[in-house]
Structures are given as structure tokens and as C-alpha cells.
Structure 1
């Protein structure tokens, strides 16, 4: 395991400066996750394997966050005109992965999974199972990255101090740290 970029930083130590509602939302992301409501068990297995490949086995529970968004139809507020709505696009793309795997995508080796996902990524300008491959790739990565970077574990990794409300930020310039922030161990002095 590599040395942390912001050693000793824990964004949750800043929770005392957030309002009650913000704290409840952020802390809930670190606790037990609710049962899935959108994905079927087969889709869950495929989606977990896909997300593990996209973000190299992240320490953040991505699938529950994505599942909750899709169950609530909480999208980015837009979708590509040549794609189905996000919930349908997720279902179709997961079924397509299983179809290409000639069985459960999750049952493939990690090398095989990476190769299959890589083929989708490389199909720029082409369709994959009736959808533009580049837009399928965008769907997967948008949701994966949104889920990842909404979690305090990822915030610690990037040195993000958490919500600005109600405390705010004082030092808004380049190379300026708040008094409570930790220096980047990988930057030059």
C-alpha cells in the first residue's frame, strides 16, 4: 500500500464544523449501506465486477451509491440523445457484458474482464449492443467517479476538507492551505 498523499488527514475530524444535516449525510456514507433496490442479484454481480475493474478495487462502496441514485432516478439531469435514460442504459449495458462473456461477467477472470471492458472503451465512434460505446463508457465512469468522490475515504486521499458550509474557506489562492489542512507529502517544498 503506498504512503498516503496527505498523511494523518481525516476529513471526518472536521465534522464538528459542519451543520447537523451535512454531518448526517456525510457520516452515513461511511456506515452500513442499505440493501440494493435497483439492481437485481445478477446485475449486482456484474456491476460490482465492472466497478472493481474501473476503479481498481476501491475502498469505497460504489454500488450502493449508484444503486440508490438509479432507484430514485437521481441522474445528472441530462443524458445523451442517442442513449436510453440512465437506469435503462445501466441495465442494458450490464446485460450486454454478461452476453459478451457468454455467461456471468463476474465469473470471468480479472484479465478477461479488463479485456472485455477495454474493448468497449476502444470502440470510439462505434455502437456496442445498440448503444454508442463511448457513451456507455461515459455512463459507467461518470457514475463510478461520482460515487467514489462523494465518499470521505476519497476525500482523505485527495486532501479535500469536506463541505464548506457553514465554516467556509478563508485561503482561496494557489498553494494556500487552511490552518486545518495537511501538506501534500508528494509535492516539493
Structure 2
């Protein structure tokens, strides 16, 4: 095992789910322990997400603060350690790794991020009646009120863009970053890359040997718990 891999494994062991603490739904599950079944390229890509993230290259300091507060609300990340969503989204935008499409009534993703984060700061100033206020300075509830307002506008314009399409931009980037991280995989019991190992048990409710049972399965429409 390489020195880099050992270091990333130690980092994963310090906090296996976002926010730390006990993984209540999938106790003891740590997807990184399956890294030995992945090929070298896959291991490198996944384990890099556990290491120190690069310095920001796209967001300026004000945008970083607004984005961090926004992502905390979208993902419910209120405690450390957090999945480094700001850094992961910043890297995507700096490298032009978009979804490959956009709404015709929206600017390019990078510009839309600049404008929407500036819009959050302007909404904060308008609400407070103070030009020295920014979105990140507001209380959590005040931030939530602004975010809910944007969400509720749906197809109506917000800061020169359709609010619903801004909401789509925010949630797409936030969820893509969050659910590409091993801590989030642990939290939802996802076994990680299947290549080259593959799957053996393809039937309904059948688990692979490395998977852990959900201790809080949702009830089905008949009112009985899944096995």
C-alpha cells in the first residue's frame, strides 16, 4: 500500500460520515476499506477527495463565504468535518467541468454562479438595509428565509435569471460534489465503485458480502419493513 493511500485511509478513519459521530444507519461501514478492490486509477481519484483540497481558483473570498453558507443549508452540513463541497465545486468551475448543458435562458454556469452568489449578498443587504451586510453574516434563519424565497419564486425572475433554474444550478452542483465523497457514501451505505470487482447478487434485497444492512429501513406501502 502506498504512503499516500495509507495517509488517506488514516484521514478517513478519523471521520467516516459528514459531521463525524456514529453512522446510525450503516454502523461500522467504511467504503474506503474496499479501496483494495478498486483499480489504481479509481483509487487515486476517490482517495484524493479525502485529502487536502487545492486552494480556490474560481470563487473570490466574498463568493466563497456566500457559497459555504448556501451549501450548508442545501446539504444540512452544520458540523465539522464537512464534505469540502465549496472546494470541489470551485475546482469544477475553474477547470470548466460543467454538466455539458445549460438552460437557454441562463448564462454559462461560471457566470451564473458569480451572479447568483452576488445576488444572495445583495438580498442580504436589502433585507438588512445595510450595505455592509453580506449573506454569510446573517443568522442561519435569515439565510434560510432568503434561500426559501429564491426557491419559492420558481419560474419568476430573480437577479435577472429564472429562479427555478438558479435553484437547479445550486442543487445540481451541491449534490454532485457531496455524493461523490466517500463520507457521504458511508452515510447512505453505498459500496463505491464496482469496477473491477463487479456484483454477484443481483436480486431484490440481496446484499453483497461487503455491504451493511440498513438499521432503519423505510416501511413499504403495506406497512411492513423491508428485510
How many residue pairs end up in the alignment? 189
Unaligned runs of 5+ in 1: none
- CA-to-aligned-CA distance 1:48-103 (integer Å, 9 cap, x gap): 01111111126311011100000011011100100001100000000000011113
Say whether 1:63 aligns with 2:86: yes
1:126 is matched with 156
- CA-to-aligned-CA distance 1:85-124 (integer Å, 9 cap, x gap): 1100000000000011113110011000000000000001
Aligned mates of 1:71, 1:170 — CA distance in 2: 39
2:99 is matched with 76
* Matched-pair contact (CA < 8 Å) for 2:56–2:91: yes
* Matched-pair contact (CA < 8 Å) for 2:83–2:181: yes
Unaligned runs of 5+ in 2: 1-20, 126-132, 218-224
1:85 is matched with 108
Aligned mates of 1:37, 1:98 — CA distance in 2: 20
Say whether 1:18 aligns with 2:38: yes
Q: Comparing both chains, which one has the higher relative contact order based on Cα–Cα distances under 8 Å and sequence gaps of 6 or more?
A: 1
Higher Cα Rg, which structure: 2
Residue 2 (structure 1) shift: 7.1
- CA-to-aligned-CA distance 1:18-59 (integer Å, 9 cap, x gap): 011111111110111111110001110110011111111263
* Matched-pair contact (CA < 8 Å) for 2:23–2:187: no
Aligned mates of 1:12, 1:86 — CA distance in 2: 32
Structure 1 SS opposite 2:164: helix
Q: Which stretches of structure 1, 4 residues or longer, exceed 2 Å deviation after superposition?
A: none
- CA-to-aligned-CA distance 1:148-178 (integer Å, 9 cap, x gap): 0000001001111100111111112210110
Map residues 100-111 of structure 1 onto 2, 5 A cutoff: 100-102=123-125, 103-111=133-141
